[in-house]
Structure 1
Amino acid sequence: MNYGDFAYVYDFLMQDVPYDKWLEFFQKKANIYNAPGKKVMDLACGTGELSIRLAKLGYQVTGVDLSEDMLMVTSQKANKESVQLSLFQQNMSQLEGLGLYDVITVFCDSLNYLTSPNEVQETFKRIHDHLQVNGLFFFDIHSIYKMEHIFSNQTFTEIEDEVSYIWNCFEGENPYSVEHELTFFVLDEKTDQYSRFDELHKQRTYTEDDYHLWLNEAGFDVLEVSADFANEKPKEDSERIFFVCRKK
């Protein structure tokens, strides 16, 4: 998927996303499970919100994303914040040649953009190959409950002076999947007119048992599974599931 114009309104769409909670989760788990060092890959880094926060804390951060536009936005923001990031454009399921890391993250449900089991399995293998011995892997995914009861057949809207959007969610063709149809209206300050662009995003999740199986097959020990930024096991109505894993 190439986000294209979406990269430039992504931060508006995600303005209420709790990046600081992901940062707190990262720091806490890296400490509890003794991350072997401070070299971090932020995989599917988007516009770099977490990458920049980590770099400010002294981590050596590499951001990787499929979208060149996302990485351009990340680079601009990193320069503005005077932080050093290494940035690479790669597909997470084809990750290669980027060296070894102490921690790799795939946050903000980015793993759900992989719409086949093979892609997820291959991504886990590639991440395993890029971790130091005893390196840690953190990720979160949408729960089945969220796919079926929060997203499916729902419409979300936002109307602001500079950017407005209509976000329609439909049940996808695969089990536990959704399709997000987004229409944006963005103000061009030079012409004082709005331009429209449309995006289609597909997401899919799987059972916890599936993720456990694929992680074990890729060479990971699953250290912890929790939900919704809390130190609690997932419940029937949990929306976001977190995995903490260690390379065997």
Structure 2
Amino acid sequence: MMKEVDYRGWAKYLVLLMRVAGMESRRSRIQGEKLCEFACGTANISIILSKLGYDVTGVDSSGDMLKVAKEKLARRKSDKLHLVHHDMVTYSQKESFDRAVCVYDSVNYIPTSAALGCFFGNVYEDLKPGGVFVFDASLESNSLNEPSLFVQRGKHKGVFYHRKSLYDPETKIHTTYVRVKKNGRVIEEVHREFVYNLALIRKLFSAAGFEERFAAGDFTMLDANDYSERVHFVLVKPDHD
């Protein structure tokens, strides 16, 4: 189901957004920079960012996802990518990173505004002064405007899948039911995403101490608004010194 995702293009878009914050103007600025990817999954984005020169730490709460990621790393033998099994909301390494990213609407899996605020606070503490945090969030328009994505069936590399999504505009919860069959084995999962509006997201990361440099709508370099489907925020931890 993830075969249509352009991970390389997404990683390059993240670097472009970090340039908006005044960073990454030259490739030499990337080399050796410490970057944390929260909710790294199977490390597709992390691997690409490490190839660009970042020293990457990938954090994810799923042991199964990290197992796949470790298999990929074993084939690459890279010393610029390290994996950590931990809940991203509570992960804390004080002033350890120059950059942080969190993509594929991973913040939408955080179930409460209090927990989302906690996450922003910990990321703020994780970054060095002047550090940059880029994350994306799926807004309500993404759930309302894409009915064709609500039911998907297909086959990819011998894996049959069926996905059905339902959105409740009252609770602001987008639920996706996934059924995967491979070699006679059936796996069923339920994913719940919690849709937050722009105003609340901004209130929470501002309370954590972040300054917003840019909010880009729908994989463009245009300003996001309440009608955007996906927003990438570019935040900076102020360097008061």
TM-score by length of 2: 0.88
Q: 1:149 to 1:61 in 2, by over 3 A?
A: same
1:224 maps to which residue?
214
The aligned length equals 230
The one-letter amino acid of 2:7's match is Y
Q: 1:1-248 counterparts in 2 under 5 A?
A: 13-35=1-23, 38-84=33-79, 85-97=81-93, 100-150=96-146, 154-160=150-156, 162-172=158-168, 175-187=171-183, 194-234=184-224, 237-248=227-238
- Report the aligned-residue RMSD: 2.1
1:71 Cα offset (Å): 1.1
Contact 2:38 2:60 in 1 (8 A): yes
The one-letter amino acid of 2:217's match is A
1:44 Cα offset (Å): 0.5
Q: 1:153 to 1:173 in 2, by over 3 A?
A: farther
d(CA) in 1 for partners of 2:157 and 2:13? 34
Q: 1:151 to 1:95 in 2, by over 3 A?
A: farther
Please list every run of 5 or more consecutive structure 1 residues that lacks an aligned counterpart in the other structure. 1-12, 188-193
Give deviations 1:132-187, integer Å, cap 9, x for gaps: 00100000011211123326992111134611111111224863221111111112
1:197 Cα offset (Å): 1.2
Q: Which shows bigger deviation, 98-107 or 125-134?
A: 98-107
The one-letter amino acid of 1:27's match is V
d(CA) in 2 for partners of 1:151 and 1:92? 30
Give deviations 1:15-63, integer Å, cap 9, x for gaps: 1112122211222233332348611001100100111111111110000
Give deviations 1:204-248, integer Å, cap 9, x for gaps: 121111111111100000110111211112256532111000012
d(CA) in 2 for partners of 1:21 and 1:34? 20
1:4 maps to which residue?
none
Secondary structure of 1:94's aligned partner: coil
Q: Which shows bigger deviation, 232-241 or 194-203?
A: 232-241
Contact 1:152 1:169 in 2 (8 A): no
TM-score by length of 1: 0.86
The one-letter amino acid of 2:40's match is C
d(CA) in 2 for partners of 1:76 and 1:59? 20
Contact 1:152 1:171 in 2 (8 A): no
d(CA) in 2 for partners of 1:73 and 1:161? 16
1:82 Cα offset (Å): 2.9
Contact 2:197 2:226 in 1 (8 A): no
Secondary structure of 2:145's aligned partner: helix
d(CA) in 1 for partners of 2:56 and 2:45? 10
Contact 1:65 1:91 in 2 (8 A): yes
Please list every run of 5 or more consecutive structure 2 residues that lacks an aligned counterpart in the other structure. 24-28
Q: 1:80 to 1:220 in 2, by over 3 A?
A: same
Contact 1:41 1:61 in 2 (8 A): yes
